[in-house]
Amino acid sequence: MNFLIKLLVTAVLVLVLSYIMPGVETTGLFSAVLVALALSILNFIVKPILVILTLPITVITLGIFLLFINAFIIMMADWLVGGFDVANVWYALIFALLLAIARSILFKMLDKEED
C-alpha cells in the first residue's frame, strides 16, 4: 500500500512539474502515472548499475554527478513513456532536482503521519 501512495504522489508531482516547467510536457494523469512507474522501475534496476559504473566520478564530484544520473533516468523515462516529453538534458536535470526535493519533503511528511 505504501508503494501505491508513493507512486501516486510521484505521479501528481510529475504532473505539477510538467505544468510549471516549459520544457517538460505530460499529456495527462495516466501518462504521469506511467512516468512514475517507469521512474520507479528504472531507479530500481538501472540506477544502481549506473552508480557503480560511475563511482569514481561521483566520488570526485562529491556526489553531484548523481544528479546527472537522475537526469539520464528522466531521459530514459521520456524515451519509454509516450505521453511524456522532456525537451533536453538541462530540463531533465532541473526536473530531476525539483522532483527529488519535492519527493523528499512529501515522503518525509507521509512518514511522520504514519508514526
At residue 84, φ and ψ (nearest 5 deg) are -125, 130
Q: Per-residue pLDDT tens for 9-48?
A: 999 999 999 999 999 999 999 999 999 999 999 999 999 9
For the chain, the domains span 2-114
C-alpha count within 13 angstroms, C-beta hemisphere, residue 86: 25
Q: Per-residue pLDDT tens for 45-75?
A: 999 999 999 999 999 999 999 999 999 999 9
> For residues 83 and 14, is the Cβ–Cβ distance under 8 A?
no
Place of cell 548499475: 49
> Which among 87, 112, 82 is positioned nearest to 23, based on CA atoms?
87
- What pTM does this model have? 0.89
Rounded Cα gap, residues 93 and 84, in angstroms:
15
